Chain A
Amino acid sequence: MDPLNDGELEREIERSLAVDPSPEFLARVRTRLAEEPRPAAGRFGWMFVGIATTAVAAAVVLAVFVVSPARRPASAPLLISRSLASPLVVPTIARASLDRSLDTHDEPRTVLVLFDTHETLALQRLIANVRDARVDLTPLLKEGPMSLPANDDLMIPPIVIEPLAPSGVEGERP
């Protein structure tokens, strides 16, 4: 029994590990990989969708806040919701205490009135169509005001409330 030196041990280990895979190994791996879904496609697809969404959002923000700064009021406006049923008059609201707290500039305060978007669009379209002669309103104007049905038929009978008639002596259970 000779003691084993480093060189011999190294060679012995290398010899034991000098085993090659079978010739079919690579083909088998390729076949197995062909059965795998391609994860890269989904990843890049989602990445692209994410980038596109972010870009669109950034463009919208840019358009609103940077490209058209003139549309932005100089100071914080008072937001008041109004229905179209009321006259289209921009109200001047005297809110002295609030104005004092918000007023940091000398420029006049603008008051924004919010309308329903659909109603606004419908009115704008109607006005534009009338102006462009696409809608003719003369028949309506000739007819005069629309006649409403008489409300005589609407009869509401008076409500009669009968007083409660206790059957026994008060405080006793019947």
Chain B
Amino acid sequence: MHGFADRLAGGIVAVSDAALEREFEARLVESSTLAFRVAYGVLHQREDAEDVAQEAFVKAYRSFSQLRDRDRFRAWLVRMTWRLAIDRQRSDRRRLAREAVTQIVTVGDTSDELIARERAAHLWIAIDGLPDKLRIVVILAGIEGHDTSEVARLLDVPQGTVKSRLFLARQRLKEQLQWTH
């Protein structure tokens, strides 16, 4: 009787594990770029963003079975990645600043590339200067053309809140970014 119970429990666990593994693999494939870009929007470094996104996936994997509403996975992942990226940025701000300078001025760049890099750097500086609530809205709205309803779903806030925050953020960015075309 005991052996049968053990076998039954083992069978249930094995089936559940296999199903969970498959589901997580599917989520990993569909959300890897999203997590990477959220991290990149904060850290502006591919390697750092990949490290943070990977860390977020590991955390998500550990708690995946406890996630009741699997449809909320992307929102869950985005918030986790965001927090990890912000933590990384705050703990390593000086190194990132140094690398940003070396990235902007690279020997051998043509003038167009140099201008583009400089504009991107200015843009990131302006975005980094926004409060976190506005900053995450700008970044999520800039990823893969997310509309305000998708951003609202990812952040679990009303769509009107997203719209007002996006409007405010763009106003502030436009005040800071005045470049020639």
Contact = CB atoms under 8 A, between A and B. Distances in A.
B29 A4 contact: no
B120 A20 contact: no
Given A9-B177, A20-B33, A40-B65, A28 B5 contact: no
Nearest to A15: B120
Contacts of A48: 8-9, 12-13
Contact of A22 (B20, B46, B57): B46
Contacts of A13: 123, 127, 138-139, 141-142
B174 A29 contact: no
Interface size class of A (residues with CB under 8 A): 35 or more
Nearest to A35: B58
A139 interface: no
Contacts of B58: 29, 32-33, 36
A19 B39 CA distance: 11
A158 interface: no
Contact of B16 (A14, A17, A44): A44
A3 interface: yes
Given A16-B142, A26-B28, A45-B13, A1 B62 contact: no
Interface stretch (B48-56, B90-98, B101-109): B48-56
Interface of B: 5, 8-9, 12-13, 16-17, 20, 24, 28-29, 32-33, 36-37, 40-41, 46, 49-50, 53-54, 57-58, 61-66, 119-120, 123-124, 127, 138-139, 141-143, 145, 170, 173-174, 177-181
